[in-house]
Structure 1
Amino acid sequence: MIGTGRLERYVLLRTFTGVGAALAVISAVILLVQFVDLSRSVGVRADVGVAQLFGLTLLKAPALILLLLPFVFLAGGISAYVGLNRSSELVAMRAAGISAWRFILPSGAAAFLVGVLAVTAFNPLASMLSARFEADRAGLMENYLTDAPKEVWLRQGDDRNQIVIHARSRDTVAGRVRLKGVSLFVYQKNKDGLPEFKRRLEAAQAELLPGFWKLTDVREATAGESSVRSDSLSIRSTLDSESAMERFASPDAIAFWRLPAAIHQTEQAGFSADGYRLRFQQLLATPLLFAAMSVLAAAFSLRLARLGGLAGLAGAGVAIGFIFFFFNEFSGALADAEIIPLYAAAWAPPLVALLSGLTLLCYTEDG
């Protein structure tokens, strides 16, 4: 039993060495591609140096690396198992009567735990860096994007009131959201739960402070009454700076821990939160996807080298990984279009990948 435990640790170490090598290669490729892309899109339009471009690249890269981590586990696992196979170590293990399940399942469990860590720790970090990337890039490109549309539509509300906010432009100063040329349409729910228009406010500027909007140079008009002007006015807000900025971002840019709040606030404001719910379910399914990729890597690499065809089988495993990757993205697109349920879109790809790997392993190992 002690020898078997050491063997499992050895295979696990070899597997994660392969995953680390694959991560290093894919990360280097991502950094290179992103640096070239930013050099073309930002470097030629703004007076920025190589250091600033590389800093932007480092801010953007973690989100892309996180997206490709399942493929990293597949490629790294295949590399590790093929290496064990070609060095005849797998032959020796089988000759000693050790089942492949004894070292494949620990690798899958370890991949699952890494997936949990990626979702709970790495995803919030990547989201924070992505937000910093967007802010820094917008600052560098500010003078070159004056013709781009900057109109803003926001909506906030609770059980009684709904406020629709429109602004001609927005900016973020010291983490605060500031809107210019603002119109606020205030609705109140009647006894039947239907919104009724109550008043409209026009303001030169609106700044989001903790718990309220601070309006400047305000003109307020209530139905059936004349308008009233004031230098400043405060309106209660259910948004904070971070959640307001999230309304301008895609669900992929919101950190895992903030998604439940984003879902609640979006539904409270009267919008559909299906995009956020899909992203939340996809993140919950990520550890299972990591484990499935680890199992698939083993399933395509256990064929004995002396029987031939190992390289072709490993190549097929990589191709299958790409297929599952695009299947995952395609399922998300179908859910966005409300063609399939979002739970099916989030959980079907990892479940299919895991069941496929287990089926192939049963066929290879047990006949």
Structure 2
Amino acid sequence: MQLDFFPSRTLTAYLAKLFIVRIVAMLAILVLVLMMLDLLSTSGEILAVAGNGQGELWTYVTLRVPQLIARFLPYSVLLATIIALVTLNQNSEVIAMKAAGLSAHQVLAPLLLTAAGVAAISFLFNETVVTRATATLKAWEANEFGPVPQTTDMRANVYLADGDDILMAASLAGTGESMQMRGVTWYRRGDGGMLTEQVRAASARYAAPGWLLEDATRFDVATADTSPIDRLVVAEGLTPAQIELESVDADAENVVELFGSILAYEDVGRRTSELRAKWWHKISGPLSAFLMPLLGAIAAFGLARSGQLFLRAIIAMALGFAYFVIDNAALAMGSFGGYPPLLAAWAPFFLFLMIGETVLVRTEE
């Protein structure tokens, strides 16, 4: 039996079923509680829009729940690991399995196999459901929870540079020459980068070249005077194609679309560190579920009556949450070029894989 990585078929099915039930239970609890808290803080903004009601609240829930599932599934696997292993330890089932000749790795093998399946499902769910829900929800938020957009090409809080000058828009919708901006502010800078004037307008459209602001208000910094302007063309160096590159959202694109955006950035000589780090993390992120049984394994072993079971559970939880903290920190470092994108996405995974394996071998094997 020592030569087999998995225990018997019956025991493998028993442990896998035990683990899956607890993963689903913990995920349901986390998503339900967090969705209720989120809805309490957002429902006021949704219902403040004329015509919105219960249907729009349910629309928000259907768009937000996939994001919560994607974010908290690894946490659910961690908590399910600790609960399942502590239960097995308290009931002396781990002792029985080890007495039957199973090693610590064989005890964990069904859980690791289940976690690998969860990671694969998580990746497919993220790429097919979460990206679409994220794009739609961001477009709806950019529309200030007005009518739900039929397309997801609306983007919020767009910041564009034309040389030293800045063009900002609260929202942007459309593609090509039909692109429209709302809540527009134009900042003109003079010599030395000093702000010379500010122009605000309700909307802007492409004027080929430049962007046409109508019924705008100009503020002159030097004289502190405010004056109305009927028509003004600004940012003549900005084209719709450049703006589409500026507004790439890695969270709203799947791996294929995001890879295409990265290639488009590289074709025009743009920096791609942030996008590449997020592209790699789309693959390494779901795999964090596979690590959780290994990091939580310390809770499975040791005598329950020794009084150290609670301490072991705390250590397992600390290892799991330390991974998430370091993973987010590494991704942030990779986004602004502190780490190479590949290292930022994969280093935490392999680091904690070695830590978990070392702890398991040193303590149990």
TM-score, with structure 1 as normaliser: 0.71
The letter of the residue matching 2:99 is: A
Match of 1:160 in 2: none
Match of 1:172 in 2: 173
Relative to 1, partners in 2 of residues 1:345 and 1:178: Cα closer, same or farther, differing over 3 Å? same
Name the SS for the 1:338 alignment partner.
coil
Match of 2:203 in 1: none
Q: Which of the numbers 3, 8, 29 marks the counterpart of 2:12?
A: 8
Residues 181-209 of structure 1: CA deviation (Å, up to 9, x unaligned) = 99xxxxxxxxxxxxxxxxx724659xxxx
Q: Does 1:269 align with 2:268?
A: yes
CA contact (8 A) 1:293 1:353 kept: no
Shift of 1:299: 2.7
Match of 1:328 in 2: 327
Match of 2:92 in 1: 88
Name the SS for the 1:201 alignment partner.
coil
CA contact (8 A) 1:18 1:80 kept: yes
Match of 1:253 in 2: 252
Relative to 1, partners in 2 of residues 1:304 and 1:282: Cα closer, same or farther, differing over 3 Å? same
Name the SS for the 1:302 alignment partner.
coil
Deviates more, 1:133-142 or 1:90-99: 133-142
Q: Distance in 2 between matches of 1:298 and 1:352?
A: 16
Relative to 1, partners in 2 of residues 1:342 and 1:178: Cα closer, same or farther, differing over 3 Å? same
Q: Distance in 1 between matches of 2:37 and 2:67?
A: 14
Q: Distance in 1 between matches of 2:325 and 2:175?
A: 39
Gaps of 5+ in 1: 144-148, 156-164, 183-199, 206-218, 223-235
Q: Distance in 2 between matches of 1:289 and 1:179?
A: 40
Shift of 1:257: 2.8
The letter of the residue matching 2:209 is: L
Q: Which of the numbers 12, 18, 34 marks the counterpart of 2:22?
A: 18
The letter of the residue matching 1:251 is: A
The letter of the residue matching 1:129 is: A
Match of 1:125 in 2: 129
Match of 1:310 in 2: 309
Match of 1:110 in 2: 114
Relative to 1, partners in 2 of residues 1:57 and 1:89: Cα closer, same or farther, differing over 3 Å? same
Q: Distance in 2 between matches of 1:253 and 1:203?
A: 27
The letter of the residue matching 1:357 is: G
The letter of the residue matching 1:268 is: D
Q: Distance in 1 between matches of 2:50 and 2:61?
A: 16
The letter of the residue matching 1:351 is: F
Relative to 1, partners in 2 of residues 1:167 and 1:138: Cα closer, same or farther, differing over 3 Å? closer
Q: Distance in 1 between matches of 2:361 and 2:331?
A: 30
Shift of 1:173: 6.3
Shift of 1:307: 2.0
RMSD: 3.7
Relative to 1, partners in 2 of residues 1:141 and 1:25: Cα closer, same or farther, differing over 3 Å? closer
Match of 1:347 in 2: 346
Q: Distance in 1 between matches of 2:177 and 2:19?
A: 46
Relative to 1, partners in 2 of residues 1:49 and 1:142: Cα closer, same or farther, differing over 3 Å? closer
Deviates more, 1:173-182 or 1:123-132: 173-182
Shift of 1:277: 0.3
Q: Distance in 2 between matches of 1:150 and 1:93?
A: 57
Relative to 1, partners in 2 of residues 1:43 and 1:237: Cα closer, same or farther, differing over 3 Å? closer
Shift of 1:358: 1.0
Match runs of 1:170-249 below 5 Å: 171-172=172-173, 178-179=179-180, 201-202=209-210, 244=244, 247-248=246-247
The letter of the residue matching 2:120 is: V
Q: Does 1:138 align with 2:142?
A: yes
CA contact (8 A) 2:82 2:296 kept: yes
Q: Distance in 2 between matches of 1:170 and 1:44?
A: 19
Match of 2:190 in 1: none
Q: Which of the numbers 61, 66, 76 marks the counterpart of 1:62?
A: 66
Q: Distance in 2 between matches of 1:174 and 1:332?
A: 30
Shift of 1:318: 1.7
Shift of 1:287: 4.5
Q: Distance in 1 between matches of 2:97 and 2:143?
A: 58
Shift of 1:180: 5.3
TM-score, with structure 2 as normaliser: 0.72
Shift of 1:109: 3.1
Q: Distance in 2 between matches of 1:362 and 1:46?
A: 62
Residues 93-128 of structure 1: CA deviation (Å, up to 9, x unaligned) = 112122231231332233223213322343331010
Name the SS for the 2:173 alignment partner.
strand
Shift of 1:179: 2.5
CA contact (8 A) 1:14 1:80 kept: yes
Q: Distance in 2 between matches of 1:334 and 1:150?
A: 23
Shift of 1:306: 2.1
CA contact (8 A) 2:63 2:136 kept: yes
Residues 301-353 of structure 1: CA deviation (Å, up to 9, x unaligned) = 32221222212211222232222111111111122232222222111211122
Match of 1:53 in 2: 57
Match of 1:74 in 2: 78
The letter of the residue matching 1:52 is: E
Q: Tell me the number of residue pairs that the alignment of Structure 1 and Structure 2 aligns.
A: 307
Q: Distance in 1 between matches of 2:21 and 2:176?
A: 41
Relative to 1, partners in 2 of residues 1:3 and 1:360: Cα closer, same or farther, differing over 3 Å? closer
The letter of the residue matching 1:99 is: S
